[in-house]
Chain A
Amino acid sequence: AQSVTQLDSHVSVSEGTPVLLRCNYSSSYSPSLFWYVQHPNKGLQLLLKYTSAATLVKGINGFEAEFKKSETSFHLTKPSAHMSDAAEYFCVVSESSGTYKYIFGTGTRLKVLA
């Protein structure tokens, strides 16, 4: 069965410093992986997705993630945090057959300090 583990429930960074949100996955097949962001009282916005093409995936708002099969990781990074990045971030693996349902991690709340 597929699953994702987000290693940090809360991350705090200063504005202008790098962001690292960690995600490990478990999958029997070549997975499809996603990062979503959720701002307070808002829906889910897709940041980026990996679907077995390039292992370094670039997303919106300067975010990127690297798929590392040997480490079963898909960490999200951004070189320089902005105040508007403060939100909840979810790592997601998609089931590889059947419903292709999304399996969400428990989320990482990113706090950006001025």
Chain B
Amino acid sequence: ETGVTQSPTHLIKTRGQQVTLRCSSQSGHNTVSWYQQALGQGPQFIFQYYREEENGRGNFPPRFSGLQFPNYSSELNVNALELDDSALYLCASSAPTGNGNYEQYFGPGTRLTVT
């Protein structure tokens, strides 16, 4: 177990709706990254938050947005859901290791199904 938790485990939404996914980081980690894993593919980087500020973004449209809170927990929000948004959403927390490399610790994921 990594100490990273995500909720809910599963979610079913209708096209056009909005969804919020939540992530609780491992204790002491100030950075959280979100990834989308479509069926049969590797995870793709959505964005990263460091100390409550967006610190980088992948090739995802603005309807994917996020928040990081003072306790370093995080939310991923997706507006105007599309069928292609159906995927496993993974969050990963990290903290400096002293050598410039940030090992990421993954949560179990939230499975989103859009119908």
Q: Is the CB of A105 within 8 A of B103?
A: no
Complex-state Cα separation, A49 to B97, whole angstroms? 13
Q: Is the CB of A94 within 8 A of B45?
A: no
Complex-state Cα separation, A106 to B41, whole angstroms? 6
Contact count band on A: 20 to 34
Complex-state Cα separation, A105 to B42, whole angstroms? 6
Complex-state Cα separation, A108 to B92, whole angstroms? 21
Complex-state Cα separation, A5 to B55, whole angstroms? 26
Q: Is the CB of B56 within 8 A of A94?
A: no
> What are the residues of chain A within 8 A of B44 when measuring CB–CB?
104
Binding site for B on A (CB under 8 A): 32, 36, 42-44, 46, 49, 51, 90, 94, 96, 98-107
Binding site for A on B (CB under 8 A): 2, 33, 35, 40-45, 48, 55-56, 58, 90, 92, 94, 99-104, 106-109
